[in-house]
Amino acid sequence: EAGVAQSPRYKIIEKRQSVAFWCNPISGHATLYWYQQILGQGPKLLIQFQNNGVVDDSQLPKDRFSAERLKGVDSTLKIQPAKLEDSAVYLCASSPQPAGVPYNEQFFGPGTRLTVL
Min dist CB 91 to other proteins, Å, is 6
Residues near other proteins, by CB under 8 A? 4, 33, 40-45, 48, 55-56, 58, 91, 93, 99-103, 105-111
Q: Select from 47, 24, 26, 25 the least CA-distant residue to 35.
A: 47
Contacts of 40 (CB under 8 A, 6+ apart): none
Nearer to other proteins (CB atom), residue 109 or residue 116:
109
Q: Select from 100, 97, 92 the least CA-distant residue to 56.
A: 100
Distance of alpha carbon 78 from alpha carbon 102, whole angstroms: 28
Nearer to other proteins (CB atom), residue 58 or residue 63:
58
Min dist CB 43 to other proteins, Å, is 5
Min dist CB 34 to other proteins, Å, is 12
Following DSSP, what letter does each residue of 25-66 receive, concatenated? --TT--EEEEEEE-TTS--EEEEEEETTEEEE-TTS-TTTEE
Min dist CB 81 to other proteins, Å, is 27
Nearer to other proteins (CB atom), residue 52 or residue 80:
52
Nearer to other proteins (CB atom), residue 49 or residue 65:
49
